[in-house]
Amino acid sequence: MARKVTRLGKHAVTSTFYGVPNFNLHEDTLIYALGGLGEVGKNMYCFEHDDEIIIVDAGVKFPDDDLLGIDYVIPDYSHLIKNKDKIKALIITHGHEDHIGGIPFLLLSCPIEKIYAPRFAKALIEKKLSEKRRLARTNIIEINDESRIQTKYFTVGFFNTIHSIPDSLGVLITTPNGRIVETGDFKFDLTPIGTNSDYQKMAYIGATEVSLLMSDSTNSEVDGFSISERKVAQSILEITKKTPGRLIVSTFASNVHRLAQILKSAVDCGRRVAVLGRSMENVVEIGLKFRTIDIDESYFVAPENINSVPAKEMCIVCTGSQGEALAALSRIANGTHRFVKIIPGDTVVFSSNPIPGNTMNVSGIINQLVRVGANVLVNTPLASLHTTGHASKEEQMLMLQLIKPKYFMPVHGEYKMLKIHAQSAVETGVPPENCFICSNGDALVLRKGEVYRANVRIQTDAIYVDGNDISGLSTSVIKDRKILADNGMVAAIVCIDSRSNKILCKPGIVSRGFVFIKESQNLMKEAENMVYDALKRAMKQKVTFGDLKNIIKDTLEPYLYEKTHRNPIVIPVILNHKDAMIKKEH
């Protein structure tokens, strides 16, 4: 058995791995993910050789419901910060938040000399960085399928793929030890809207010996081929023609091709259009600039002028297809939107499917819309109002057949998705022992065309971002928020005179979200007496404010749990006598 190594620091040169004796950082190529494995989101894949690191994508993950008050989840950048001098390039495959959303946080932690991004993604990144006033210091270089990036050890090329956003690229990385393909997010659509997949280039790459394929696993559980975006466009056009009154369509702001088709259908049917939701407004602005959204700007109506347009001539496109509480559609449904109220006879179209976990929220919005008089249409097998941007199982197998990798590493997916994708790879001819199902932080070693699993882990803890705090929140803060949500809080207010080291009166106990005060007066009175007695005993000797706080916690926490089987957060509040405070200040 080889010696176990648990750290890969900036100055490490040689390490020993299971199956990879005498690994040499100068000669072998290291491959690892800081995000995107075992989860859908925060994609970030790193390729390291000697004194160079290139990164593919830098995304965020949106928090689960139990992460109270958290805006984003980002990867831990500690390893990159330690090795910041090695980073030569950040390469972006496309412009979705789970691939570009982490860039502002990464730049604040670790300077990146060059960011390479396709046209639409570049515009979105520029918009994002300008809002955070970091654009002037960032060199963003536009790339396409003909671009080539050359460093000392890496040569990077690209090929066109199809996704739900324009200018989506797959990546070919040539290293001193072999060739790696990272697909980015993709699907195969035989009647696409926009640029087609470059089947010929993919096949050519596959004919030139690819050592490792890293491929999108999101829809590995879905059989067959996904519905064409053009079929969805036809369904939306038919609905737009048949709708007698006002049409309100909600979809993902990031689904640019869908957004373009909705707006085009509305204009073709003689309707004016309005866009609600900041993220959607940003995407439409960039889409119009690049003519990805190809309609005349004269058809757009400002939100405050919507009610001046006849209902049958109006189409509103808005965010909120996932039932987000503050999104435009939720505010319209609840009657709190500034400019739009549901008129009986309005038709609301959900051009999306609920993301797992959002079903209840979406159902609640639908019920509220129906309650106030709207006709609601959702995606069904009989009404193709949505299609995925990710490859289903047969499309994933087609990618495997085109690239013909010797080794395979499924990426971008929860563990079950990665597992099923690896099984598909085996069915297409990849040996089972050549498939690597990894977690964030696991490392693979590429040596002379062969891939090995390394017995080393890169630090990859998730970082929780609250507002503009790029340092992230500690686990203890998240834990406190969960306790507050589940068990509430109890504050013990104590008045003392530090000059005489005496407690001046019985403590006061205040509760919020813990128990109903009127029904728990005996509990609170007993708690006050226990704290009072404990403090009197302790203050027979000299004690610090810290000692008093610990005594209050140690007294209250076990008592409250014994009586209620709940663990509220106990907050001690020590009030010192005014004269004592004046004496202390002088």
Q: Is the pLDDT of residue 14 over 50?
A: no
User: Average pLDDT in the 75-91 region?
Assistant: 94
Cα within 13 Å of Cα(92), Cβ side: 33
pLDDT at 470: 56
pLDDT at 133: 72
Q: Are residues 500 and 544 in the same domain?
A: yes
Q: Is the pLDDT of residue 485 over 60?
A: yes
Domain holding 103: CATH number? 3.60.15.10
> Which of 112, 130, 134 lies closest to 56 in space, CA to CA?
112
Q: What is the enclosing helix (H) or strand (E) of 483?
A: helix 475-487
Q: Is residue 390 annotated as a catalytic residue, yes or no?
A: yes
Q: Are residues 269 and 208 in the same domain?
A: no
Q: Are residues 461 and 561 in the same domain?
A: no
Domain holding 521: CATH number? 3.10.20.580
pLDDT at 567: 85
User: Is 382 within the bounds of a domain?
Assistant: no
The catalytically annotated residue of 96, 390, 412, 421 is 390
DSSP-assigned letter for residue 292: S
Q: Are residues 450 and 484 in the same domain?
A: no
User: Average pLDDT in the 415-430 region?
Assistant: 97
pLDDT in tens, 348-394: 999 988 876 678 889 999 999 999 999 999 988 767 888 899 999 99
Q: Is residue 442 annotated as a catalytic residue, yes or no?
A: no
Q: Is the pLDDT of residue 12 over 60?
A: no
Of residues 119 and 542, which shows the higher confidence score?
119
Dihedral pair phi/psi, residue 344, rounded to 5°: -50, 130
pLDDT at 134: 62
Residue owning tokens 């072998």: 28
Q: Is the pLDDT of residue 423 over 90?
A: yes
Average pLDDT score, the chain: 88
Q: Is the pLDDT of residue 183 over 50?
A: yes
Q: Token pair of 386, please?
A: 């949505």
Q: Token pair of 447, please?
A: 């040596």
Outline where 359-405 has alpha helix (H). 359-371, 393-403
Q: Which residues pair with 573 in a beta bridge?
A: 493
Query: Between vectors from CA 101 to CA 441 and to CA 154, what angle results, nearest 5°?
Result: 55
pLDDT in tens, 110-157: 889 899 999 999 999 999 888 877 665 789 999 999 999 999 999 999
Q: Are residues 197 and 50 in the same domain?
A: yes
Domain ends where: 343, 377, 411?
377
Q: Are residues 185 and 292 in the same domain?
A: no
Q: Is the pLDDT of residue 18 over 50?
A: no
400 touches 214 (CB < 8 A): no
Dihedral pair phi/psi, residue 400, rounded to 5°: -60, -40
Q: Are residues 22 and 73 in the same domain?
A: yes
pLDDT at 493: 92
User: Is 218 within the bounds of a domain?
Assistant: yes
Domain of residue 283 covers: 229-377
Q: Are residues 502 and 353 in the same domain?
A: no
The catalytically annotated residue of 198, 216, 346, 442 is 216
- How many structural domains comprise the chain? 3
Question: What is d(CA 549, CA 564) in angstroms, rounded to the nearest whole number?
Answer: 22
User: Is 6 within the bounds of a domain?
Assistant: no
Q: Is the pLDDT of residue 476 over 70?
A: no
User: Is 3 within the bounds of a domain?
Assistant: no
Residue owning tokens 């965020």: 60
pLDDT at 517: 65
For residue 134, the SS3 value is coil
Dihedral pair phi/psi, residue 103, rounded to 5°: -60, -45
The model's pTM = 0.80
The sheet carrying 148-150 orders its strands as 148-150, 155-161, 168-175, 178-182, 210-216, 405-411
DSSP string, 33-73: EEESBSBSS--EEEEEETTEEEEE----BPPPTTSTT--EE
Domain ends where: 472, 501, 523?
472
Q: Are residues 468 and 478 in the same domain?
A: no
User: Is 464 within the bounds of a domain?
Assistant: yes
User: Average pLDDT in the 265-278 region?
Assistant: 96
Q: Is the pLDDT of residue 22 over 70?
A: no
User: Is 365 within the bounds of a domain?
Assistant: yes
Domain ends where: 453, 472, 491?
472
Q: From the CB of residue 542, how many other CB atoms can be counted at a distance below 10 Å?
A: 9
